[in-house]
Structure 1
């Protein structure tokens, strides 16, 4: 991972002079130079870096011999006092490569639970995917394609992104409602009354670049068209129209998709998010939501949980659908038109 991109990421994440920053690094020693470059970038800003490495091999060795006395409250109390956590992972966090006996694994699982409970008490918590072949597995993309797409999505001007998101938030915040027009004649109406737009321009999940809101859960009505709909573990669906009534997805025009929709519990069918991609270096859809929802000039809606960002719906999933369309803002009796 290029040091210049790492410098951009560290700055955009909000690191400032005088802060205490923990680099929480999921990776083996073969990738430790990446962690070291984060430490360098943090130090260059004038902040104080700390490193906690979570390698699968090391954690297996440690927890194969550890007992209940290890990792007591003093350890976790110390970890909750940083200004920010940069959670950097070269592969899927938490999982181990080898099986261990049940009692030892339960100790490891307890450690992980206490670990994250402590880390999220810090002022900021940012997750950063390193473009590696191991992380490509989650995406379903060819490793070389994944690495190229992630690297390109990271290599942007974050000051420009932040300013673009702020301007868009200001514009959208004037509206109490919004109409989304897609396909030939699909119209979806959102009630945004009392809800706040949020910006992801570097202090959340990376790659970044979106603005989003939790619409009133029971008020979304109409239909929405997707030229191509990607649903992980279910497939790719073409020319899909979703019907939404009372804030819930109730039906689609695709007979192959409807069985999946039929498996969802009521809370998991709620349209919980409306967002717009803002990252200028993501220019085509690939089926990997982490990238697709940040693509410039796209919209996305999600079904499931939104209590994390100002909504009221608690659910077991948060599933994003990305498309293109035209929006109309409903503000003070006027209508403004724009393309997404």
Structure 2
């Protein structure tokens, strides 16, 4: 069995907890055919009734798939989405989850990330993610700083906290694979300050030559600075406009096996980083619905919860 075949079986059997008699749908595209088809074959090997659907790649993260595909997603016990663009923050995914399907999205997945990410210790990742969730649920205010100049704060009061733990065994559970993060939607309109993305940005890639500086006022990005990377990001956001500039998410990576690779699916899970996303947050407790969700990764941050330091230079200062 190849490393990829093994990773596909781990995803279905262990992460999704697929049981005998359960049906599995794989939604992929022409760019991610190799991984999509291997997941389909793994489902068949494991004894599941499985269907494979392939589409043309979508243009942006959060864009809706065809209505016929969205309808199919509601008909299966387990839905796996290895696609170039993310289906995580789509109505199609939300509707499938609401009907009880367990959905894993693999946006932009590569063979290397699939193999590395799915051989992680998900029991420990789940424990750490859930412990951090319990900590954040007690807080009302977050501030993030970094040596590069990040200094942003926002309210999380009344917001649900989510642990993407990599184990999706209950009806309606969903998240990324590979995974490992604890995240929430900051209260709209409350984020103030700047954040310097020095890890990677979804849609742009690794920050190899220049970081991106985003200025935030009243919960909205008002300025983007920093060379070619910043220009590229600004162009992506301008195409959507409006709520694309909303500060949508604050998340903390909890996967010690993940590495910065330029693929946001993996990058936002790296232990020692936080990420702040712009755009849609309707699917995890926010109020903004827009066909875009892009995460920016900040390396080695200090994180304060209600004034208490819980992470220093990327290292947890609390037990998780």
Aligned to 1:38: 43
* Structure 1 alignment gaps of length 5 or more: 44-48, 57-72, 94-114, 130-134, 140-145
TM-score (norm: length of structure 1) = 0.69
Aligned to 1:335: 308
Kept after mapping to 2: 8 A contact 1:326/1:338:
yes
Kept after mapping to 2: 8 A contact 1:176/1:191:
yes
TM-score (norm: length of structure 2) = 0.73
Aligned to 2:216: 244
Of 5, 20, 23, which residue of structure 2 is paired with 1:21?
23
Structure 1 CA distance, aligned partners of 2:178 and 2:232? 32
List, as ranges, runs of 4+ consecutive aligned residues in structure 1 with deviation greater than 6 Å: 27-31, 76-79, 115-118
- Higher radius of gyration, 1 or 2: 1
Structure 1 CA distance, aligned partners of 2:219 and 2:161? 19
Task: Tell me how far 1:13 sits from its aligned partner.
Answer: 3.4
Task: Tell me how far 1:243 sits from its aligned partner.
Answer: 1.4
Residue 218, structure 1, aligned to residue 189, structure 2: yes
Distance verdict in 2 for CA 1:251–1:53, change over 3 Å? closer
SS of the counterpart of 1:54? strand
Task: Tell me how far 1:197 sits from its aligned partner.
Answer: 0.9
Distance verdict in 2 for CA 1:213–1:10, change over 3 Å? same
Across the aligned residues of Structure 1 and Structure 2, the Cα RMSD in angstroms comes to 3.8
Structure 1 CA distance, aligned partners of 2:204 and 2:244? 16
Structure 2 CA distance, aligned partners of 1:206 and 1:80? 19
Distance verdict in 2 for CA 1:194–1:160, change over 3 Å? same
Distance verdict in 2 for CA 1:52–1:217, change over 3 Å? same
Larger RCO (CA under 8 A, 6+ residues apart): 2
Within a 5 Å distance, the mapping from 1:1-340 to structure 2 comes to 2-15=4-17, 17=19, 20-24=22-26, 26=28, 34-41=39-46, 43=47, 49-54=48-53, 80-82=74-76, 84-87=77-80, 89=82, 119=96, 122-127=99-104, 129=106, 146-202=110-166, 203=168, 204-230=175-201, 232=203, 236=207, 238-254=210-226, 256=228, 257=230, 261=234, 263=238, 265-283=241-259, 285-324=260-299, 325-330=301-306, 335-339=308-312, 340=314
Structure 2 CA distance, aligned partners of 1:215 and 1:182? 19
Moved more, 248-257 or 168-177: 248-257
Structure 1 CA distance, aligned partners of 2:214 and 2:269? 21
SS of the counterpart of 2:308? strand
Task: Tell me how far 1:51 sits from its aligned partner.
Answer: 1.2
Distance verdict in 2 for CA 1:172–1:255, change over 3 Å? same
